[in-house]
Amino acid sequence: MAIQLRIPKPSEKQRLFLEDRHSYVAYGGARGGGKSWSVRVKSVLLCITHPGIIIMIIRRTYPELRANHIEPLRKMLGRKFARYNDSKKEYAFNNGSTILFRYCASEKDMDNYQGTEADVIFIDEATQFDEKVFRMFVACLRGVNQFPKRVYLTCNPGGKGHAWVKRLFIDRRFKDDEDPNDYSFIQALVQDNDALMKSQPTYIKQLEALPPKLRDAWLYGRWDIFEGQFFEEFSDNPKGYEERVFTHVIPAFNPPKAWKRYRSFDFGYSKPFSCGWWAVDHHGVYYRILELYGCTDTPDEGVKWTVDKIFREIARIEREHPYLKGHTIEGVADPAIWEASHGPTIADAAAKEGIYFQKGDNKRIPGWMQMHYRMAFDEDGHPMMYIFDCCKGFIRTIPTLVYSEIKPEDLDTKQEDHIADETRYMCMLNPIAPRVSSTNPTPEYNPLDLWNDDKKDEYTFYRI
Q: pLDDT tens digits, residue range 160-185?
A: 788 889 889 988 989 889 999 999 99
Confidence (pLDDT) at 271: 96
Task: State mean pLDDT over 58-69.
Answer: 91
Task: State mean pLDDT over 313-334.
Answer: 97
Confidence (pLDDT) at 313: 97
Most distant CA atoms of the chain, gap in Å: 85
Is 341 found in the same domain as 274?
yes
**Domain assignment of residue 2, yes or no:** no
Is 81 found in the same domain as 27?
yes
**Domain assignment of residue 405, yes or no:** yes
Confidence (pLDDT) at 431: 94
CA 348 vs. chain centroid, Å, equals 35
Is 247 found in the same domain as 202?
no
Collect all residues with Cβ–Cβ distance below 8 Å to 229 and sequence separation of at least 6: 158, 213, 399, 401, 402
**Domain assignment of residue 228, yes or no:** no
Confidence (pLDDT) at 182: 96
Is 423 found in the same domain as 286?
yes
For 404-449, the pLDDT digits (tens) are 877 767 888 888 999 999 999 999 999 998 876 554 444 444 444 4
Angle formed by the axes of helices 364-375 and 418-429, nearest 10°: 80
Three-state SS for 205?
helix
Average pLDDT, the chain: 84
**Domain assignment of residue 20, yes or no:** yes
Confidence (pLDDT) at 35: 87
Confidence (pLDDT) at 442: 43
Q: What is the CATH number of the domain that holds 360?
A: 3.30.420.280
Task: State mean pLDDT over 68-79.
Answer: 87
**Domain assignment of residue 260, yes or no:** yes
Confidence (pLDDT) at 456: 36
Residue 239 pLDDT more than 60?
Answer: no
Residue 391 pLDDT more than 50?
Answer: yes
Q: Distance between CA 115 and CA 213 in Å, rounded? A: 41
Lowest mean pLDDT across 227-231, 358-362, 371-375, 391-395:
227-231
Is 245 found in the same domain as 213?
no
**Domain assignment of residue 183, yes or no:** yes
Is 168 found in the same domain as 52?
yes
Which residue would you say has higher pLDDT here, 136 or 461?
A: 136
Is 317 found in the same domain as 443?
yes
Is 308 found in the same domain as 168?
no
Residue 45 pLDDT more than 70?
Answer: yes
Q: How many CA atoms lie within 13 A of 422 on its CB side?
A: 29
Q: Distance between CA 238 and CA 335 in Å, rounded? A: 36
Confidence (pLDDT) at 408: 67
Confidence (pLDDT) at 243: 45
Is 321 found in the same domain as 193?
no
Confidence (pLDDT) at 1: 40
Is 160 found in the same domain as 195?
yes
Q: What is the CATH number of the domain that holds 155?
A: 3.40.50.300
Is 118 found in the same domain as 245?
no
Domain with 373, as residue range(s), is: 240-455
**Domain assignment of residue 270, yes or no:** yes
**Domain assignment of residue 233, yes or no:** no
- Tally of domains in the chain: 2
Residue 372 pLDDT more than 50?
Answer: yes
CA distances from 290 to 198, 278, 461 (A): 53, 7, 14
Residue ending a domain, among 184, 218, 252, is 218
Among 120, 122, 100, smallest CA distance to 112 is for 100
Q: What is the DSSP string of 102-141?
A: EE-SSGGGGGGGTT--BSEEEETTGGGS-HHHHHHHHTTB
Residue ending a domain, among 186, 218, 250, is 218
Is 192 found in the same domain as 82?
yes
Residue 225 pLDDT more than 70?
Answer: no
Residue ending a domain, among 167, 186, 218, is 218
For 109-153, the pLDDT digits (tens) are 777 777 788 999 999 999 888 888 899 899 999 877 888 899 999
The pLDDT confidence band at residue 227, using thresholds 50, 70 and 90, is low
Task: State mean pLDDT over 47-69.
Answer: 92
